[in-house]
Amino acid sequence: MAFDRLIEKIIAMQNPTVAGLDPKLDYVPASIKEACFAKYGKTLDGAAAALFEFNKALIDALCDVVPAIKPQAAYYEMYGWQGVKALCDTIAYARKKGMFVITDGKRNDIGTTMEAYATAHLGETEVLGQDIEAFGADALTVNGYLGTDGIKPLADICKEKDKGIFVLVKTSNPSSGELQDMKLETNESVYEHMGRMCEAWGEELVGESGYSAVGAVVGATYPEQLKEMRAKLPHTFFLVPGYGAQGGGAEDVKFAFDKNGIGAIINSSRGIMCAWKKQGLTEEDFAQAAKNEAVRMRDELLGAIGRIGG
């Protein structure tokens, strides 16, 4: 199962961090932008090329310290199909460097449409008898509002192709409670109900680690719910956003881990991408600064959760 692969990497590196690659053009150093705009013009092509160069340098700097990246689809779509090409290229580059790739797309639909998303992001597209990876990530974030019809096609691909998904359960944002915290007449909250569905969807996809291919997104900014969900969802691996810029700290996210220090991966996006600002470095040193921050974050997390994998 895909999360067994991820957990092995996390244990080997003793680092439960995923680097969020959400590259706004503003984050890209002037030297990279100048070179790309000189080559491709002041166009979406130029912007997308700059994003990919930025990502490559980050991946080169991080791949020995961080087990996974999480590119957020929105930031690539913002630069049109050219940006989406940069997403494809980033995924391929990170996988070549041995990293586990989680595409953060929060995709959701039903039936054959969800099959198309599953094929796009985790599977292979058939073109005249040839199977071609369209995006080729290891895992995809998804939204479960449509119920089992929207998850089944993903679960099938997870099983067949050794991939994983993360279903939104309790998100890290201030307004997440407007729907997710509402109490149902069963006395469960909406997020508890969604969490329980994740356990059910993953039931036949549990790997050697004890975690299934159906993970959940649970935000660092709600440590109580993180603790509660960890206890109630023993087979569900967590992707935890909200550390750093959004306010979650190591003492908050430690609740995402089981007694062996596994069961979760913690995301940092801006904290890593823009680390040079906090380290008194120049923007040209962004990659080294990102690595410094990844090391600092790793040590901080290990300080809170202890050795990973016993």
User: What are the residue numbers of the active site?
Assistant: 106
Identify the helix (H) or strand (E) that includes residue 62.
helix 44-62
> How many Å is the Cα radius of gyration of the chain?
19
Q: Considering the rule CB under 8 A, would residue 249 count as an interface residue with a second copy?
A: no
| Count of positions on this chain that bind a second copy (CB under 8 A) | 73
Q: Considering the rule CB under 8 A, would residue 40 count as an interface residue with a second copy?
A: no
x/- contact string, 101-140, with a second copy (CB under 8 A)?
Answer: -----xxxxxxxxx-xx-xxx---x-xx-x-x-xx-----
Using the rule CB under 8 A, which residue among 14, 173, 260, 288 binds a second copy? 173
Q: Considering the rule CB under 8 A, would residue 148 count as an interface residue with a second copy?
A: yes
Tokens representing 239 are 């992707």
Q: Is 217 helix (H, G, I), strand (E, B) or coil?
A: strand
Distance CA 216, CA 256 (A): 11
Tokens representing 159 are 């099983």
What b/e readout covers 206-231, taking b as 16+ CB neighbours within 10 angstroms?
bbebbbbbbbbbbbbbbbebbebbbe
Q: Residue 72 pairs with which residues in a beta bridge?
A: 104
Using the rule CB under 8 A, which residue among 39, 160, 174, 307 binds a second copy? 174
Those residues whose C-beta lies under 8 Å from the C-beta of residue 276, and which sit 6 or more positions away, are 282, 283, 285, 286, 289, 290
Please say which residue, 158 or 197, places its beta carbon nearer to a second copy. Answer: 197
Using the rule CB under 8 A, which residue among 85, 163, 254, 291 binds a second copy? 85
Q: 């991408």: which residue's tokens? A: 273
Q: Considering the rule CB under 8 A, would residue 260 count as an interface residue with a second copy?
A: no
Please say which residue, 173 or 279, places its beta carbon nearer to a second copy. Answer: 173
What is the closest distance, in whole angstroms, from the C-beta atom of residue 241 to a second copy in the complex?
9
Q: Considering the rule CB under 8 A, would residue 35 count as an interface residue with a second copy?
A: no
Using the rule CB under 8 A, which residue among 16, 83, 164, 223 binds a second copy? 83
Q: Is 188 helix (H, G, I), strand (E, B) or coil?
A: coil
What is the closest distance, in whole angstroms, from the C-beta atom of residue 70 to a second copy in the complex?
12
Q: Considering the rule CB under 8 A, would residue 178 count as an interface residue with a second copy?
A: yes
Kindly identify the residues of this chain, within the stretch 280-299, that bind a second copy according to CB under 8 A. none
Q: Considering the rule CB under 8 A, would residue 78 count as an interface residue with a second copy?
A: yes
254, amino acid identity = K
165, amino acid identity = I
Distance CA 284, CA 61 (A): 13
Region near a second copy per CB under 8 A, out of 79-87, 158-166, 257-265, 298-306: 79-87
Q: Considering the rule CB under 8 A, would residue 250 count as an interface residue with a second copy?
A: no
Q: Are 68 and 102 in contact, with CB atoms under 8 Å apart?
A: yes
Region near a second copy per CB under 8 A, out of 177-185, 227-235, 275-283, 295-303: 177-185
